[in-house]
Amino acid sequence: MNCLFIDIASHDGFIALASEREVIVSREVTTRIRDHELVPLVEELLDEAGWKYEDLTNIACVIGPGGFTSLRVAVSFANTLIDQLGIEGVGVHLSEILGCRVRDRVRDTYWVHATKRDSLFVKGGEWTEPTLVTLEEFSEKVPRGAEWMGELLDEQIKALDSKQLKKAEIEPITQILPQLISQQRFESKPLEPWYGRTG
């Protein structure tokens, strides 16, 4: 498997070329990537690996949550490659990636992602799928001593600290990416961004 992995939705974004055994080349992405910046970045990685677009067999792309433009750019690029190269792709939710990266999982570990000052997406415990809840509801329902992983605003982190919730330690993505992509179910259909809101 020669897989292109794209995550430009996270605060700590990451683009890589990987197999089911190793990460061949990668770049951390700490700034927002626009349409005209993604293609040269991927081509730089392909050159470094000694690959061409035609060598890609799969694409794994983070489909959400994240900024509207970042998700649109990543998913549109992934869908173009899936279509034009005739290869298979998979959309990966950010909660799945972070869940694989938790170093020492405790019984109560929650994935969280800030949307506004008073609300966040959460997965864990009673929330078996990523769900939009208020910070107050989350704080009331999560047991003391639970751990969280994800992206929060500073004031949300302070609120969770006051409840004695701590941030989980996570492994570098390079450690888990080969296993993560080898466990995915790739398909020849377009990916859809996940914005988390309906209606």
Give pLDDT, residue 105. Answer: 61
Q: What is the mean pLDDT of residues 161-189?
A: 89
- Does 22 share its domain with 87? yes
Encoding tokens for residue 53? 């677009």
Number of domains within the chain: 2
Q: Are residues 157 and 135 in the same domain?
A: yes
Residue 190 lies in a domain: no
CATH code of residue 143: 3.30.420
Integer Cα distance of 77 and 64 in angstroms: 15
pLDDT tens for residues 99-133?
888 866 656 789 999 988 899 999 988 999 999 99
As a whole number, the mean pLDDT across the chain is: 89
- Does residue 98 lie in a domain region? no
Residue range(s) defining the domain that contains residue 115: 104-167
At CA 52, angle to CA 50 and CA 58, rounded to 5? 110
Does the residue 116 lie in any domain? yes
Same domain, 60 and 140: no
Q: Model confidence at 199, in pLDDT bands (50, 70, 90)? A: very low
Look at residue 104 in the predicted model and tell me its pLDDT: 64
Same domain, 113 and 81: no
Check whether residue 81 and residue 121 sit in a common domain.
Answer: no
Lowest mean pLDDT among 7-16, 26-35, 70-79, 149-158: 26-35
Q: What's residue 165's pLDDT?
A: 84
More confident site: 33 or 60:
60
- Residue 175 tokens read as 């450690």
Question: Do residue 62 and residue 88 come from a single domain?
Answer: yes
DSSP track, 170-190: B--HHHHHHHHHHT---BSS-
Give per-residue pLDDT as tens, 61-82.
999 898 888 889 999 999 999 9
